[in-house]
Amino acid sequence: MNSKEIISSLLENVKEKGGIKQIFLVACGGSLVDMYPAKYFFDSESTTLHVGMYTANEFVYATPKTLSENSLVIVCSHGGNTPESVAAARLARARDAQTVTLTHNDQAQLIDYASHNILYAWGNDTNVVDNPMAIILSLCVEVLEQVEGYASYADFQRGMEQINGVIARARLQVSDRCQRFARRFQDENLFYILSSGASYGHAYGFAICSLMEMQWLHAAPIHSGEYFHGPFEVTDKETPFILLMNEGRTRAMDERASDFLATYGEKVEVVDAKELGIGVLPPDVVEFFNPVLFYSIMCEYRSALAEIRQHPLETRRYMGQVAY
């Protein structure tokens, strides 16, 4: 079943019960990061549907009152057995919500609580539209289209057809600069990651997953707009910043941060989606695809850093090693 068929069958299930009124996006860590573009999309485009995005345990401990048969809950877990995410899906089913689960593991416990499960593809050789970030975005676009109508629906589908080619070309384009970045920043132990719009979630994800979890480096995300409301006071010639510059409506905020950093900072790495070719996508939907591009490109950056630091991306000292 494709996204359109999945959503139309779930909407059919609730047709006599008042339909879907709210969507909850629930996961942990990297899987939660994959949901941010969809949340941003709904916040931006929907006029009647409400969206909430929750780390799984918060959804369980502080459950929104609106969780009901009129809710669609999307739960993603790569391994499919993260206890918090399984508990959230179980709770959603117990409250008669429609659930779509996404996992890469066909034996996942999560699947037990699915109205519909999606077993997704993973790895560098897969098409990004078959990976969770794009699938979740596409499910949400379908909900909007089928519940309210979405004027840019056809352009969104065009973007889905184009994005993988853009990423393949951009990967080649950044290959040398990733090596230069790794050589230049290999001894740093703190990074601030800036972005805005649909990509803010990826700034958060790159900080908490790629740098903190996978490299044991200190890192924090900063919204490009918020940078000027506190964080910019730490800017100097010694502190590393990575700026993920979007194409689309929020680019002005990223450019403002870029201009300031060019004047007062020095250790600044700018990753610019426009320069990487995302501008071929239709202008009314391009902003939603920036984080899909950034995810793939920043994987190249983190691999180069991991290699030069001789710190494999898989190494953990607590996760899966001790009780927590």
Ligand X SMILES: O=P(O)(O)OC[C@H]1O[C@](O)(CO)[C@@H](O)[C@@H]1O
Q: Measured from the CB of residue 213, what is the shortest distance to ligand X in angstroms?
A: 6
- Of the ranges 26-34, 43-51, 162-170, 277-285, which one interacts with ligand X (CB under 6 A)? 26-34
Confirm or reject binding of residue 290 to ligand X (CB under 6 A): no
Confirm or reject binding of residue 79 to ligand X (CB under 6 A): yes
Confirm or reject binding of residue 211 to ligand X (CB under 6 A): no
Q: Which of 3, 85, 250, 296 binds ligand X (CB under 6 A)?
A: 85
Contact 287, 158 (CB under 8 A): no
C-alpha–C-alpha distance, residues 268 and 209, integer Å: 20
C-alpha–C-alpha distance, residues 245 and 236, integer Å: 20
Contact 298, 210 (CB under 8 A): yes
Confirm or reject binding of residue 215 to ligand X (CB under 6 A): no
Confirm or reject binding of residue 22 to ligand X (CB under 6 A): no
Burial class of residue 59, CB neighbours in 10 A (0-12, 13-18, 19+) = buried
Confirm or reject binding of residue 118 to ligand X (CB under 6 A): no
- Of the ranges 75-83, 87-95, 170-178, 187-195, which one interacts with ligand X (CB under 6 A)? 75-83
**DSSP strand E in the chain: where?**
22-27, 50-55, 71-76, 98-103, 116-119, 190-195, 218-223, 241-245, 268-272
Name the nearest CA neighbour of 102 among 86, 83, 128, 80: 80
- Of the ranges 78-86, 179-187, 238-246, 262-270, which one interacts with ligand X (CB under 6 A)? 78-86
Confirm or reject binding of residue 205 to ligand X (CB under 6 A): no
Q: Which of 22, 29, 97, 242 binds ligand X (CB under 6 A)?
A: 29
- Per CB under 6 A, residues contacting ligand X are 28-31, 77-79, 82, 85, 209, 213
